[in-house]
Structure 1
Amino acid sequence: MSESRKQFVLSKGATCNNWNWSWSFTNHDEKMVIFGAWDFNTDNEKSLIMHKDWQKKNNRQQPGYSQAIEHLKLLDQGYNLYIFYQENISDDEGEPKIGKISDNLLKAYMKYDGEAWYAYKNAFDYLPDERDAEEEYFEGTRKLVAVNAYERNKDAREECIRIHGYKCKACDFDFEKKYGEHGKGFIHVHHIIPLNMIGKRYKVNPEHDLIPLCPNCHAMVHRFKNNELGLDKLKELISSGK
């Protein structure tokens, strides 16, 4: 570990089991879990901080992985997740090398997708935000981070909203009606067929492949990864709960 990163982590009252191989750090007094986020694993919304593929390297168990798993478990015990950004200055794709690091910690929100752990800047930023109907939109293109991530097409999202509006298709919740100007223009967009099930570049139809959902309904759809709900089933549950 670079001395500057060690000094930065220590300045936040955090520590680890070994400064040479640790990826994550804890401050138990402040209930903080801290991860460094590489620049090449970061986009505008989130950072990839852990992946199951990182468990072994050259068929050898990575101690940093085991420690990081234990640290992630602390998030279920009331700890908060924080990240700091770190620059990779190595030309070797297999061996990142730390250059500059950010001088502040950012509070983040962890999401696990079954293979990878992501740190999101905002609690509801799990999806990103109108255009001509004849345009073609492609989604699911693989983007190189350290694993395969699935790109989302912002224009397709906007076209979906232009067609369907900002009202939730499941429960009819309207953020603007409820919150006025503050809620205007806010809604999640749901892929009826999840991108990770398609696994390749494909042409998306914003009218038929995407629907607007409020965050609550969106969360219920994705609550169980192996048993995601369809729109009709979700509406049934809403009706039965009234």
Structure 2
Amino acid sequence: MAERIGLEQEKRSGGDWSTGYSFQRGAFFIFCNVGTAGRTGHDYPNRFEGDRLRWSGKTGTRLDQPQVRQLLSGDHEVYVFFRSGDRDPFEFAGIGTAVEQEDGPPIRVLWSFDRDPAPRPAETPGEIRGQTFREGAMVQVTVNAYERNPAARRACIDHYGCSCQVCGFDFEETWGDLGTDFIHVHHLKEISSIGDEYEVDPINDLIPVCPNCHAMLHRRRPALMLEELRIKQSRHGSGPSLPT
């Protein structure tokens, strides 16, 4: 686990390193298995609920323990990594916010990522004015990146064109030359779920989508099917007509 966050030269035996989470350089790092037992034989019921993670702490944890209180206080960023096999590489889920807590042992926490899970009291402009916030502290995090083949991307676009295959948006029609050839390409078979090199069919495995639809497809894990998002867009959206 230590190697994942750039601490190769530091002592890392026993203690926090055996618990699945650690406090380093002012932030917490959680490493967990989802849907599979760990190498030690522990099999916690960690699972994704939509785009949130239901996570169990180590055996014996209680909400009143000092480190648990620190973990859930909101005063420190919590970097959450997961894997679906005990020998798979860890994937970065995001910076977590604890939206639900259940006492143990062990504790159970529902982590939300990349959005504010709870509504805040309304603030008037006078209350907002004068507040300052600190950003920019550097934390070194190593995650997995999966190589994309540009030739496969080009073949996909040559076949389907640059219009989004969910909502129909075309960047060139809206922004002219600035939008020429701009489009995301979505993998219908998620590379991260395969974890290895494979042969990609640019017609059957790839599809052009706009960044907004691409983000919505990945709001759930596993990703939504295109038809699911098309139905949601047609019911709730007011964008361009769907592609035929």
TM-score range, shorter chain: 0.3 to 0.5
User: Highest CA radius of gyration, 1 or 2?
Assistant: 2
Determine which structure has greater relative contact order: mean sequence separation of CA pairs < 8 Å that are 6+ residues apart, divided by chain length.
Answer: 2
The structure where strand makes up a greater share of residues is 1
- The two structures have a TM-score, normalised by structure 2, of 0.44
